[in-house]
Amino acid sequence: MNQSLERSIEQEELEFIGPDFNFNGYCNARYRMRNTSVRLGDIEVPTRVEALNTRGEWQQFPVVFIHYGTYEAMKNNDGQLVMFLPGGKYTSKPYSPITDRELYQQAKKLGLTMGKQSGIQSIVKEEE
């Protein structure tokens, strides 16, 4: 691959540190996302997010997912709808199967819910 093509591919991705959702925000993880986005409902979301795994490889991570936090919350369908946003940011809100189902189904059709959330390399947060 020539250098100019490699540079353009690198410029299309943004690396950032964000929460490791497996540890409910107590640890961070390293992510990267494409600079391309798609409209989901009334917001723009990146077309792909990846996380660095424990083997030091990038693996696809869901752009949109429901974070339950505990088994009990999952049984009660009581979670947070998490959506990555362009620029290395994310947003979350309480997930409501009634009002958010259509949005989640649209995300699923666009492939935005695909990816693996386990095996992510955690970064311990420093005390502030």
What is the per-residue pLDDT across 79-90, written as a single tens digit (0 to 9) for each? 999 999 999 999
Instruction: Please report which confidence band the pLDDT of residue 74 belongs to, taking 50, 70 and 90 as the band edges.
Output: confident
What's the rounded mean pLDDT across residues 110-123? Answer: 94
Please state whether beta strands 64-67 and 58-61 pair in parallel, antiparallel, or not at all (unpaired).
unpaired
Round to whole Å and give the CA distance between 51 and 102.
26
The pLDDT value recorded for residue 127 is 63
> What pTM value is reported for the model?
0.83
Annotated domain spans of the chain: 13-117
- The percentage of the chain sitting over the pLDDT mark of 70, rounded to a whole number, equals 88
Residue position matching structure tokens 């809100």: 93
Res. 73: pLDDT tops 50: yes
